[in-house]
Structure 1
Amino acid sequence: MTKIQQKINQIKKELEVDFTALALSEINPTTHVRDIRWQYVAGNTNQHYTRIRLQVGKGIGGIVWRTGRGYQATNLQKQPEKLVELPITRMEKLETVIAYPVWQAEEVKGVLLLGYRSITEVPESFLTAAKEKAEELAEYL
Structure 2
Amino acid sequence: MTDQIQQRIDQIKEDLQVDFVALALSTVNEVTKVRVIRWNYVAGNTNQHYQRIKLQVGKGIGGIVWRTGRAYQATELQKQPEKLVELPITRMEKLATIVAFPALEDGEVKGVLLVGYREETLITEDFLAVAKEKTDELLVYL
Work out whether 1:5 is the aligned partner of 2:6: yes
Deviation at 1:30, TM superposition (A): 4.2
Q: What do the CA deviations read for 1:66-116 (whole angstroms, capped 9, x no partner)?
A: 100000000000100000000000000000000000012321010000000
Relative to the length of structure 2, the TM-score reads 0.97
**Distance in 2, Cα, partners of 1:81 & 1:73:** 13
Q: Deviations over 1:30-80 (max 9, x none)?
A: 432000000000000000000000000000000000100000000000100
Equivalent-residue separation in structure 1 for 2:34 and 2:17 (angstroms): 35
Q: List alignment gaps of at least 5 residues for structure 1.
A: none
Q: Deviations over 1:6-45 (max 9, x none)?
A: 0000000000000000000001234320000000000000
| Structure 2 counterpart of 1:21 | 22
* Residue 96 (structure 2) aligns with: 95
SS at 1:2 equivalent: helix
In 2, the alpha carbon distance for the partners of 1:97 and 1:116 equals: 6
RMSD of Structure 2 on Structure 1 (CA): 0.9
Q: Give the ranges of 4+ consecutive aligned residues of structure 1 lying more than 6 Å apart after TM superposition.
A: none
2:33 is aligned to 32
Aligned pairs for 1:34-113 within 5 A: 34-113=35-114
Counterpart Cα distance in 2 of 1:53 and 1:68: 19
Tell me how far apart the structure 2 counterparts of residues 3 and 116 of structure 1 sit (CA, whole Å).
24
Identity %: 70
Structure 2 residues without counterparts, runs of 5 or longer: none
Q: Which amino acid aligns with 1:138?
A: L
Distance of 2:45 and 2:24 partners within structure 1: 14
Matches of 1:2 and 1:113 in 2, distance apart? 19
Task: Letter of the 1:120 partner, please give it.
Answer: T
Q: TM (normalized to structure 1)?
A: 0.97
Aligned pair count?
141
User: In the aligned structure 1, how far is the partner of 2:31 from the partner of 2:109?
Assistant: 23
